[in-house]
């Protein structure tokens, strides 16, 4: 989807070249700190088993695991490492742990970028409009995991219904799904035969039970914004402290990411500042503030009854007022 504003009015060619430069060092620092935090908390979780502290360690462990999807997202864009092959290798490993195969996720996500907020073609918007009930179920993670698990099994059976998957992409996605399902089945069988609950304790339960925290970021990025063809109107950034920005791999600067997806995560703050200097403040809300406002709106009427070409979930202080003129 071509934006109706001009990106050339936001950055000069020299600025864009500087901002799109990759760095293996920055990638290893972010990846190492995130995976290292998971391993440390997993160790503490093991020590806490049998005590009430396990609730805290399990919660932190699950949140850290869920937000590894932010790494998978950046790896799909090949912006984590300068060495391109590293992006694919880590993307496949993390996609396995997320129960979200890398090739499928990449195809879906690239359709999301190309057709952001287009009901028919946005890979992350191919769904029925939310009612309050369906939104709360998605926020809880119940329908999220149902879609992920049953969708994976369906694709492993060779059934593709996603409109954003092209015919020449079907084979690799089906093969990838079959590999994932086979390995998951082998792990479940091995766990059962060993009489162990290791994977359940240190991976599945923490990840499943803390999905609602991850959904706070997932739901804020576009919901309640315009469906018109303008990134500055159909994408929202998040007000977040430094720790959350680290956890999300800087995705709270989401408008900046959508405007120039090739810019690495660690340069999004600089990019955001340049965009706002030219275009004015982007749409931005906090996690809890957003949830309160969207739930209020959905309690009144479902998503389809709110304006499609207007912003209908805004912070109490108001939204952005400036925009970049079209060419």
**Nearest CA-CA partner of 262 in 12, 2, 18:** 18
Provide the pLDDT for residue 9.
79
d(CA 91, CA 95): 6
Chain centroid to Cα 291, Å, comes to: 17
State whether the Cα torsion 259-261-263-264 is positive or negative: positive
Three-point CA angle 21, 25, 30, nearest 5°: 100
Q: At what angle do helices 53-66 and 68-76 cross, to 10 degrees?
A: 10
DSSP states of 229-296: S-HHHH--EE---HHHHHHTTTTTSHHHHHH-TTS-GGGHHHHHHHHHHHH-PPPEE-HHHHHHHHHH
Query: What secondary structure letter does DSSP report for 77?
Result: T
CB atoms within 10 A of CB 50: 7
Provide the pLDDT for residue 320.
59
According to the 3-state scheme, what is the secondary structure of 87-135?
HHHHHHHHHHHCCCCHHHHHHHHHHHHHCCCCCCCCCCCCCCCCCHHHH
Say which residue the tokens 């339960």 belong to. 205
H or E stretch at 28: helix 24-48
CB atoms within 10 A of CB 168: 7
H or E stretch at 158: none
State whether the Cα torsion 77-78-79-80 is positive or negative: positive
What pTM does this model have? 0.93
- pLDDT tens digits along 153-211: 999 999 999 999 999 999 999 999 999 999 999 999 999 999 999 999 999 999 999 99
d(CA 311, CA 33): 37
Query: What secondary structure letter does DSSP report for 198?
Result: H
Bridge-based pairing of strands 237-238 and 284-285 is parallel
CA dihedral 13, 14, 18, 20 (to 10 degrees): 10
Intervals of the chain under pLDDT 70: 1-6, 8, 317-327
d(CA 228, CA 101): 30
d(CA 159, CA 170): 9
Alpha helices in 115-194 (DSSP H): 132-140, 142-156, 170-194
Provide the pLDDT for residue 2.
42
Question: In the numeric block, which tokens belong to residue 24?
Answer: 């293996």
């Amino acid at each position: 989807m071509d934006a109706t504003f001009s990106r050339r009015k936001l950055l000069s060619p020299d600025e864009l070249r500087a901002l799109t430069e990759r760095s293996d060092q920055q990638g290893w620092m972010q990846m190492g700190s995130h995976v290292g935090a998971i391993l440390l908390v997993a160790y503490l979780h093991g020590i806490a088993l049998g005590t009430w502290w396990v609730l805290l360690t399990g919660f932190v462990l699950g949140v850290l695991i869920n937000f590894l999807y932010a790494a998978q997202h950046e790896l799909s864009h090949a912006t984590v490492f300068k060495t391109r092959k590293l992006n694919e290798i880590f993307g496949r490993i993390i996609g396995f742990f997320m129960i979200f195969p890398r090739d499928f996720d990449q195809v879906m996500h690239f359709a999301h970028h190309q057709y952001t907020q287009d009901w028919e073609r946005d890979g992350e918007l191919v769904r029925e409009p939310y009612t309050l009930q369906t939104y709360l179920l998605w926020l809880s993670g119940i329908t999220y995991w149902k879609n992920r698990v049953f969708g994976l099994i369906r694709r492993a059976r060779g059934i593709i219904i996603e409109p954003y998957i092209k015919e020449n992409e079907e084979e690799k996605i089906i093969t990838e799904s079959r590999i994932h399902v086979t390995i998951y089945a082998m792990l479940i069988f091995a766990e059962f035969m060993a009489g162990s609950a290791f994977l359940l304790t240190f991976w599945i339960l923490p990840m499943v039970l803390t999905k609602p925290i991850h959904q706070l970021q997932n739901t804020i990025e576009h919901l309640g914004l315009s469906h018109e063809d303008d990134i500055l109107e159909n994408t929202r950034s998040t007000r977040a402290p430094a720790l959350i920005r680290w956890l999300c791999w800087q995705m709270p600067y989401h408008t900046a990411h959508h405007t120039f997806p090739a810019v690495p995560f660690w340069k999004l703050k600089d990019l955001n500042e340049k965009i706002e200097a030219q275009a004015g403040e982007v749409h931005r809300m906090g996690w809890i503030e957003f949830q309160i406002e969207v739930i209020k709106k959905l309690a009144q009427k479902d998503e389809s009854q709110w304006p499609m070409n207007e912003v209908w979930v805004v912070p109490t202080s108001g939204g952005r007022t400036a925009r970049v003129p079209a060419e």
